[in-house]
Amino acid sequence: MKITLVNGFWGQNIGNSFFNFGGTELLKSLAGNESVSCVYDHPNYRTFARRQSSFPKNFLNYFENLRTDFLVLQGPIFSSSFPILWNNILPVLKRRGVKIVFLSSSFFRHNTEEISLVRNFLTFLKPYAVCTRDSETYSALKNFVNNIHDGIDTSFFVPDFYDPVDLNLGNYVTFTFDRFHEPLTTFNSRTGLPVSEEDLSSFRIIYPTFLNFFSSKNKWLGYISSLLDFRSLPDSFGDFKIVRPHHRYTPYIPFRAIKRSNAFVSDEPYTYFSLYKNSSFTFSDRVHACAITLAFGKPAMLHEHTKRSLLLKRVGAVEIEKRPASVNSLFLKTEKENMIRFLKNVFS
């Protein structure tokens, strides 16, 4: 048996590598290392690319030459461009006998148009199995797919398969902002972190409304507006040092990525795993910065109000957009076991 996972675009969003890594290692644990391989994602997912089914000129169409039993796609793949990008690939592979599986998948925007387009395409495609990462996606698709499970994001499996190196940085928190601008955050507490109601009363967040106006319009304006950011932000959060991971390595924009102290940016996930594992708290506009922090048993808070936060709420962090949240380890363990049981049947 050969299982092929679709991975990629780590440089433009390192969070992709978190669930790619978790999904790959999870399937290796179920089917054996020799049974699992990976290939690059559809090239037209790159930032600013046109969402069209045809590959860029002169780009090898490796999908049509795959020799595999299963093709597994992960992440928020169910977008309005999903049928456009994959309608010349997935049906062809299925006619050749390849089983199409969606692992920890979800809608991208969760709007009516997107849901309708995806339902129609999946009804036509009839995938072998779908495992979602949030319950809203599951509810929208459960009557349109025969073999479906209300699962969780595979980034939550990372600690089960990888033990990151510890860091001698002292006590620190991670502030990860690369779409929106880092807010001015102040905090004073004798207990260490803003987790109790008493602590939260001294937790102050001042958002840069003017700068975030540009970020809300599009990515390029968000990047360029960094040149207008003349604020002096603190290097500490209460008694904790602030470490600033940046999740977008490509395109590399130093005046945004490493603008402030203790910044870090890379195109590999392993140092990020170390940073989030050893962090005491994460505050971010990136859902997977929060997800991997929660996976390692630490609290996190999400800045952006987005439907993608449903993957965090799926594991119990229901108020993560309002306040620092944590995950019940026993609940997470049960959800992992349920998902593993489903996947064992899929790949048996």
Q: What is the pLDDT of residues 325-347, one digit of tens each?
A: 999 999 999 999 999 999 999 99
Is the predicted pLDDT of residue 235 greater than 60, yes or no? yes
d(CA 53, CA 38): 21
The answer to whether the pTM exceeds 0.85 is yes
| Structure-block tokens of residue 97 | 């006998």
pLDDT digits (tens, 9 = 90+) for 240-275: 999 999 999 988 888 889 999 999 999 999 999 999
Alpha-carbon span 72 to 59, nearest angstrom:
22
**CA 144 distance to own-chain centroid:** 25
* Domain definitions of the chain by residue range: 3-160+334-346, 162-328
Architecture of domain 3-160+334-346: 3-Layer(aba) Sandwich (3.40)
Grouping H, G, I as helix, E, B as strand and the rest as coil, residue 12 is: coil
Instruction: Measure Cα distances from 126 to 75, 123, 244, 246 in Å.
Output: 18, 5, 43, 38
- Could you report how far apart the first and last alpha carbons of the chain are, in Å? 9
Residue 55 confidence class, pLDDT cut points 50, 70, 90: confident
Cβ-contact 103, 72 below 8 angstroms = yes
pLDDT for 57 beyond 90: no
Lowest mean pLDDT among 49-53, 278-282, 299-303: 49-53
Q: Which residues pair with 103 in a beta bridge?
A: 74, 131
* Percentage of the chain modeled with pLDDT above 90: 81
CA 172, CA 159: separation in Å to the nearest integer? 20
CA dihedral 208, 209, 215, 217 (to 10 degrees): -170
What is residue 347's three-state secondary structure?
coil
Position 268, amino acid: E
Distance separating alpha carbons of residues 175 and 245, to the nearest angstrom: 7
> What is the rounded distance in angstroms from the CA atom of residue 73 to the CA atom of residue 7?
8
* C-alpha torsion 283→284→287→290, nearest 10: -30
- Provide the pLDDT confidence category of residue 78 given band limits of 50, 70 and 90: very high
Burial class (CB in 10 A: 0-12, 13-18, 19+), 192: middle
How many residues appear in the chain? 348
Distance CA 301, CA 233 (A): 19
Question: Would you tell me how many other CB atoms lie within 10 Å of the CB of residue 249?
Answer: 18
